[in-house]
Amino acid sequence: MGLSSSTALAFAVTAILTLTLRPLALRLHLTDKPGGRKQHIGEIPLVGGIAMLIGMLVAAMAAVQTADRWTLLVPAALLVIVGVIDDRYNVGASARLVAQICAALIMMIGGGLYLRDIGDPFGTGLLGLGFFAIPMSVLVTLSVINAFNFIDGIDGLAASMALIALAAGGLASGLGAPAVTVAAVAFGAILGFLPFNFPAFRNRRLRTFMGDAGSTLLGFVVVWFTLSICQGEHRSLSPVAALWFALMPLSDFFSCFVRRMARGKMPLHAGREHFHFMLMRAGLSERQVLAVLVAFAVLYAAVGLIGASYKLPDWALFAPWITLLALQYFIIRGLALHLRHRRWRASTVVVQLPARAAAAHSTSMQVDAGREAA
């Protein structure tokens, strides 16, 4: 089965399952209820993660005949099962963290996918990790998984970020490797879910969320695919170039992590410090926020693709990447302040215009009265 066929199969299975699982989710109360920072209307079914996993499973069984599929699907299933339990019963961050560590270890020990080196980010030669390979790989995997979980705050955002990362990785590595076929399957599954969650063309009666099950699944798929194409003797991409494909989710994650730690809060608990909330507080609509953040992600992915295609040295790609990782919060904050200022100026003009018109009308009436008296 070719790339297009496997992508189409994953798309169809996911879309059909999303439709059919919605009534069951409502009966089982597997829904996201409004309240607090959640401002949607009504209870929204949380079946996107289940539908995407099954869509990937069916298409991967038909399209991929190597053991690569199991190094993704088995730990992914674990994450989705724990995510569904958390979506229904709210088991907490610690249970999710244990499941994520187990998924990372299954991928690394069972499939041999882990960070053996991190490229040449400082221009001093290839940096192998040695004894630190496994713990560093676990840390990276947890960071990417939770970055996608963190950024899943408005409709279509986490799915769009995953699509960008997978598409950029596929373009950078070529289209013949088994890992790319699995990535194409995941790409199709995400596309199959997106019509039920994308703000530009969603139907309110069919609106569906992916929940923690879906967002952690997306993060794991991205880190699995990235490790597959940027590690080993036959890798097709530098690890440093691959960092650009997930810069936006990672920068949102680390900025929230650092600010919550600085305030003495638990870093993995929910909050409103995310980029999307900052822009919405500045007056942008959900669709506008999605467009802005997707534009940033596409720009950064393009930088990674250019670096990979022109074989730029790792240090030349790592220096601006780490700078943007640290400064992205201030970039988004500056944009939000600019938008607030423009909004304030516009509202001031709107208020002043009627006041000036009323003053002019009053002056005219006084002049007419004076003329009549004369």
- 115: how many CB neighbours lie within 10 A of its CB? 24
pLDDT in tens, 321-370: 999 999 999 999 999 999 988 888 877 766 555 555 555 555 555 545 45
pLDDT in tens, 21-63: 999 998 988 988 765 555 556 789 999 999 999 999 999 888 7
Q: How far is CA 291 from CA 288, 294, 340, in A?
A: 5, 5, 18
Nearest to 231 by CA among 353, 159, 127, 331: 127
Q: What percent of the chain has pLDDT over 70?
A: 87
pLDDT at residue 367, as a whole number: 44
What one-letter code names the amino acid at 234?
Answer: H
Nearest to 140 by CA among 222, 237, 258, 261: 222
What pTM did the predictor assign?
A: 0.89
What distance in Å separates the CA atoms of residue 362 and residue 243, rounded to the nearest whole number?
64
pLDDT level of residue 243 (50, 70, 90 thresholds): very high
Copy the structure tokens of residue 268.
């993995």
pLDDT level of residue 267 (50, 70, 90 thresholds): confident
Nearest to 221 by CA among 59, 356, 336: 59
Tell me the average pLDDT of the chain. Answer: 87
DSSP string, 240-263: HHHHGGGHHHHHHHHHHHHHHHHT
pLDDT at residue 331, as a whole number: 95
pLDDT at residue 57, as a whole number: 93
Domain ranges, ordered by start, for the chain = 3-337
Copy the structure tokens of residue 281.
């507080």
Nearest to 108 by CA among 147, 139, 66, 150: 139
| Burial of residue 307 (number of CB atoms within 10 Å: 0-12, 13-18, 19+) | buried
pLDDT at residue 69, as a whole number: 76
Q: Is the pLDDT of residue 95 over 60?
A: yes
What distance in Å separates the CA atoms of residue 312 and residue 121, rounded to the nearest whole number?
11
What one-letter code names the amino acid at 125?
Answer: G
Nearest to 53 by CA among 162, 198, 201, 216: 216
pLDDT level of residue 174 (50, 70, 90 thresholds): confident
Q: Is the pLDDT of residue 198 over 50?
A: yes
pLDDT at residue 201, as a whole number: 64
Copy the structure tokens of residue 246.
């997930």
pLDDT at residue 344, as a whole number: 82
What distance in Å separates the CA atoms of residue 270 and residue 86, rounded to the nearest whole number?
14
